[in-house]
Amino acid sequence: MADLNVSEPNITTSKDPLIGKQLGDYRITSRLASGGMARVYKGMDYKLQRPAAIKVLDTHNVDLEATSTARFKREARAVAALEHPNIIPIYQYGEDESEGVYFLAMKLVKGHDLADELRRLKRSKDKLMPIDRALKIMTQVASALDYAHSQDIIHRDVKPSNILIDKDDHATLTDMGLVLRVSAETTMGTAFGTPRYIAPEQATSSDKAVPQSDIYSYAVILYEILTGQTPFDGGTPMEIALAHISEPAPSPRTVNPGIPLVVERELMRALDKDPAKRHKSATQLIEAVKRGYNTPAASALSIAEPLNEEATLALAPAADLPAIEIENKSRRLPVPMLLLVAVALLIAGAFIVNGLADMTGGQAAADGAPVLLIYDESTFTFINEGDYDLNVQDLKFIRGVDDNVDDFSGDRIPRDVLPSGQNCFQIILNNTTPTVPPQCNPISQHRHGQEMLSNPLRVHWRAETETSTRVKTFEVRYKGQLLARCDTIERGGFGECRLNWPEVPPTPEA
């Protein structure tokens, strides 16, 4: 399931048919996010004067409906049974026959997710989160995971975008849509999860997931916090998954020499391909990491300063150091591991379906500027949410075949550069009143201009064409590189798509 941040709203539209509807005790007031098989709205219980995040299952795909609704009900039962200060609480579950939807009401967290925080840090001069703050947040997440495991529940999609942070750095683990109750349910032959954070055994099949699979994903997040990058990267979800299965994790100290060797060894233990060799709990891992940083020798150093080998080995007794050899060079794989790779290839199709959202429009990549596309039947809005200007001349929206009459090229935009700071460019159908999303800066919106189109059957974001066919998606390309594949909409519909602009902003002159 794609990321569904249950924090304060960032999208409001009157075009969505559920806006203003009553689902259970909650009246829907705005839409927060959408992705995968579900959408998240803000709702209000006017009797109790309590806001909530309302997760609504999208059942338009008939082939997935039976499986999706079963998983949705399982999520409601599993999460409602959990009572922990760092796990999102469930208020209500229901089915609305008049609207044909299943919904889940949960606490609305006022804040942002850890993925947004890490992206912000990478764009800042600091680059990395202060260690004390990182340990505080990740200690809370460890407590939530260990509690869920004690209740025989595996999350299976632990990643930064599923960790919400409020203004006091209180962390909340959310999006339990992929939970698996160990004693009751399995999912044979399918890999659920997110490629950048998925455990090797889970990448082959979700029925192999164990609590240590969540600990592996948790360790990947720790690795990213401490180094600014995840251990494995690649051009496709399957490429990343195969790296988790077959490649040793790179030494984090090669990226950030300021990481104590003790901490590195704990991370490498948690990232072992064999679940049995990992820590017994997430708390055991984070406490070992805290010991590594909180000893006098380590605390005297900044995160960017290297430790010499003798000083680092003195930070903890030998019993605390797992017997793991850290190699920086890649190794040839033994035959059993190659067999695991072959198994992974067999289920590649299922995994790519679940992981592709993180590689394209479902979730922004780690680098670049975040871009949001919002569109209804008459207005298409391109929003620069980043903190640097975007040159849009090599941008292209493609519906169907490249270079046909439905495509829209960036060279048609009046100015070469779309400025930073919630600046918007809009494409509008003639003789219609444009819809201006609340994210747009009103002054810059008028300053940057608009492009008018006359034929609604020849616009890239609409499903209707001049023939009898319907086009389900359109592509967003920059200099020929695919940035995202977004859903088209029918007449009267509403769509949104997130992507990451690949350009790196120029370095300011000294």
Residues with catalytic function: 157
How far from 182 is each of 405, 433, 495, CA to CA, in Å?
53, 53, 37
- For the chain, give the longest Cα–Cα distance: 75
CA distance 446 to 469: 36
The percent of the chain in helix, strand and coil, each rounded to the nearest 5, is 35, 25, 45
Closest C-alpha among 497, 442, 457 to residue 377: 457
- What is the gyration radius of the CA atoms in the chain, in angstroms? 24
- Write down the residue that tokens 């033994």 correspond to: 334
Query: Which are the contacts of 363, defined by CB distance < 8 A and separation ≥ 6?
Result: 2, 3, 35, 115, 161, 357, 498
- The DSSP bridge partners found for residue 398 are 475
Backbone angle region of 203, left / alpha / beta, with phi > 0 → left and psi within -120 to 50 → alpha: alpha
- The DSSP bridge partners found for residue 383 are 372, 424
284 neighbors 336 (Cβ within 8 angstroms): no
CA distance 282 to 220: 12
Neighbour tally for 328: CB within 10 Å: 9
Neighbour tally for 441: CB within 10 Å: 16
Neighbour tally for 60: CB within 10 Å: 8
CA distance 106 to 326: 43
Report how far apart the first and last C-alpha atoms of the chain are (Å, whole number).
44
Q: Which helix (H) or strand (E) holds 164?
A: strand 163-166
475 neighbors 482 (Cβ within 8 angstroms): yes
Q: Tell me whether strands 450-453 and 423-429 are parallel, antiparallel or unpaired.
A: parallel
CA distance 311 to 293: 13
DSSP H helical ranges for 228-361: 237-246, 261-270, 282-294, 296-299, 309-313, 335-346, 348-359
